[in-house]
Chains A and B, each alone.
Chain A
Amino acid sequence: MSKYTANKNIITVAVAGNPNSGKSTLINAVAGTMLYVGNWPGVTVEKKEAEFEFQGRKIRLVDLPGTYSLSPYTQEEIIARDYLVHKQPDVILAVVDSTNLERNLYLAIQLMELDIPVVVALNVYDELEKKGYRINIRAMENMLGDKLIPTVATQKKGTDKLFKAIIEVADNPAAYRPKQLTYDEDIEDAVKYVEQYIKEKHPLLAEKYPLRWLALKLMEGDRQVMQETRLENEGFLAEGAVNHLRKAHGDDIEAIMADARYAQVTGLAREVLKKPDILKIELTEKIDRVVLNRFLGIPLFLMAMWLVFKLTFDVSMPFVDWADAVITGPFTRWVEVILGFVRVPGWVVSLATDGIIAGVGFVLIFVPVIFAMMFFITFLEGSGYMARAAFVMDRAMHSMGLHGKSFIPMLLGFGCNVPAIYATRTLENPRDKALTALLIPLMSCGARLPVYVLFVGALFPTHSGTVLWSLYMMGILLAVLIGIVFKHTLFRGEAPMFIMELPPYRLPSMRSLTIHTWEKVKHFIVKAGTYILAVSVLVWFLLNMPWGVKHKRDSLLGQAGQMVAPVLAPLGFGNWEAASALITGIIAKEIIIGTMAEIYIEEKKDKEMRTTPTFTEDLKKIGISFAAAVEDSVTNVFSTLKIASISTDNQAESRGLISVIQDTYTPLSAYAFMSFVLLYMPCMVVAIAMKHEFGTWKWFWIAFAYEIILAWTVAFVIYQGGSLLGLGG
């Protein structure tokens, strides 16, 4: 076979391993900035690849999803084994957590069944030594026929040796064919029987698949392999040696195989692993005693979450404000100056500044938030606490059909729905992930707050706290309700399993954290940026078309507002101004206020007098304000009980608005309007995040459809119900 020829130009290495084995840390350590992150085709599982040179040789790394086994039941497992079986990499790098040898080797020996040379990284080797364990590496190499290299990925220890070994193995594949571990005699007889059958009857399949692996999978009754090979109906699996095996052990060959594999691994571990005489109580154990305590568990979790939320938004907000100020201030001014210099028509200036730059700025102001959030989420995940959070919260979340891990994305939703959507990445099961993402828009985000603040300030000055609180609660209660409804309709069927490892606590490496975070941010800027820009330009056109429109009422947006208004009439705000504002709110809900201001306050304070600062003055100011942002970000972290939020700036503008709103709305219609704003649809950036995260618009459309119906219904009930009760006045 071709894979046993030596000296390839480029060595393809597939990296496999258990979740929490330090696989991604290892990959980040060796490939770092060369990593290309995408998705496996057709699914939301992340695919990382990198090409780099090591000692003059080209190496291509393909990171397989973390799995515990190669069974055909989870997306991750199917992806990993499809790649290995059909793409035939030159070497499999099996990353093994040395402190958990048995369960990790269980996967490794399944990898060896694929007849591709395997190099094993005995990762987290420092922890193993610290615990007083010893592994007889030489003996283990002899038993497995693989090369074994101890590594500490967090410190990049052993990685050079590891890649030397990989090249050595790739160049002499025949010398490093993995040893096939032999099972009990009756199993081996059955394997031989099936192998023979395939060779005779289906020689093509024998070429296409590693023969022994195929035989084992067929015996296990692997659904996927059965379908792929179309051997389901041939009946040979009920004959001869296989039949004997069945009779002797009952029908469940899959269980026999799992047993046999574990038996081998346990035997191997017993021979090579030397345990210390006295087992120390581990740090993980001690932390868990507190963190998972019956009484302390939930308060500690809530505190941790409060901290994550606070850190995410406190750290990022000053930078958001800074980016916003730079873009709307000096940057816009520079562009105006430059465009003025080349004498382009006024509408081009407007398109460039109000359309394009505003759009770009809009993308950029999300960057600090996403960066901070991804950083903390990656930290939680890498440290091992995420699994504990899921453990503590699962009971509560499960009643809504969600997973314990769903809590964190939902909570982040109160800050901003966009990073919350990205945070659903921590959920492995596609069903849990989709349902969580669908409910996130019901969490009232920071961008909705300015709208509430304005309306509450105008119409509920004495009960502002209560009214605000009621809106947040409404979102939460509706999420519970909709969650239950979806659980029984869209997501009917058995809930995905929870069976989850509680990995030992570990300090994630800074390198791994920053690489992961940066990947996400880069992706957002490039992918989401394009869409956001397009939509901002579109909205600009809506506002400014037809050409030379004088009154906003006559613009395309105003016309659209007039068309929509009658639909909103039963909700108490059937005017074109509200409708137009809501339409622009699809970009982001805080824009609703901006649009209202633009519509209501006709005589826009014609370009307030301002002394145009010079270019150097601007640069200086940008630098100073950045320093101030850093300072704010740091002080925010240390100031307790204060969570920064997107502030309603431009006081003068809102004061003018308040009086218009007091004239136009009653408390009842204002409340209906606020509820509508809370519920009516995910903003465009959330939509893009959903598309981006799921690879399809499907979930966005579902969220859009249910939310708009929900919003209308809720606002209708509030307004009509309230009117009936005589609250209309």
Chain B
Amino acid sequence: MNLALLKPGEKGKITKITASGPFKRRLMDMGMLVGELVLVKKVAPLGDPIQVAVKNYNLSLRKKEAAGILVEKID
């Protein structure tokens, strides 16, 4: 399961970051860390990118980028 597959309103816990290089570092700098809770809030009107809440703020990223974040869905 990765972050891009979660639907709006669904929550996940990050299990692994498979992205690499600058992408990975940027994600981590923005607070996307293993163990962190992420809530998918919205999908853009054209289907991409998505808006997520992490560390109490809003972040948007393309689905392709979100796919590099593995999550475990939480109910």
Contact = CB atoms under 8 A, between A and B. Distances in A.
A689 B72 CA distance: 49
Contact of A71 (B25, B55, B56, B61): B25
Given A100-B56, A394-B49, A106 B31 contact: yes
Contacts of B17: 255
Contact of A395 (B22, B23, B26, B49): B49
A574 interface: no
Given A498-B61, A502-B51, A68 B56 contact: no
A294 B51 CA distance: 12
B43 interface: yes
Nearest to A110: B29
A63 B29 CA distance: 21
Contact of A391 (B24, B29, B51): B51
A37 interface: no
A258 B45 CA distance: 33
A82 to B, nearest CB: 17
B31 A292 contact: no
Nearest to B34: A259
B60 A502 contact: yes
Given A391-B49, A394-B48, A499 B26 contact: yes
B42 interface: yes
A102 interface: yes
B11 to A, nearest CB: 16
A387 B24 CA distance: 22
Contacts of B26: 68, 71, 73-74, 497, 499
How many A residues are at the interface, by size bracket? Answer: 35 or more
Contacts of B33: 258-259, 262
Contacts of B49: 391, 394-395, 404, 498
A223 to B, nearest CB: 10
Nearest to A266: B55
A69 interface: yes
Nearest to B36: A262
B22 A392 contact: no
A292 B51 contact: yes
Contact of A258 (B25, B55, B65): B25
A499 B67 CA distance: 13
Interface string B51-69: 1000111111110010000
Given A71-B25, A106-B31, A500 B61 contact: yes
B33 to A, nearest CB: 6
Interface residues of B, number: 31
B65 A499 contact: yes
A598 interface: no
- Which of A298, A392, A502: most chain B CB closer than 10 A? A502
Contacts of A396: 46
A341 interface: no
A67 to B, nearest CB: 9
Nearest to B48: A395
Given A73-B25, A392-B44, A394-B62, A501 B56 contact: no
B65 A392 contact: no
A292 B44 CA distance: 7
A254 interface: yes
Contact of B24 (A255, A393, A501): A255
Nearest to A68: B29
Given A395-B46, A395-B47, A396-B46, A498 B29 contact: no
A91 to B, nearest CB: 24
Contact of B60 (A102, A293, A294, A498): A498
Interface string A85-106: 0000000000000001011001
Given A69-B29, A258-B33, A501 B57 contact: yes
A105 to B, nearest CB: 11
A295 B44 contact: no
Nearest to B35: A259
B22 A73 contact: yes
A294 B45 contact: yes
Contacts of A103: 30-31, 55, 57
B28 interface: yes
Contact of A102 (B31, B43, B65): B31
A508 interface: no
A393 B60 CA distance: 12
B30 A68 contact: yes
Nearest to A20: B57
A497 B58 CA distance: 16
Given A497-B23, A502-B51, A502-B59, A297 B45 contact: yes
The 5 A-B pairs with the shortest beta carbon distances in the complex, nearest first, are A395-B46, A69-B29, A258-B28, A502-B58, A297-B45
Given A497-B23, A498-B49, A498-B65, 13 more contacts: A71-B29, A100-B55, A100-B57, A259-B28, A259-B33, A387-B60, A395-B46, A395-B47, A497-B61, A499-B59, A501-B30, A501-B57, A502-B51
Interface of A: 68-69, 71, 73-74, 100, 102-103, 106, 254-255, 258-259, 262, 284, 288, 292-295, 297-298, 387, 390-396, 398, 404, 497-503
6 contacts: A73-B25, A293-B45, A387-B60, A395-B44, A395-B49, A499-B23
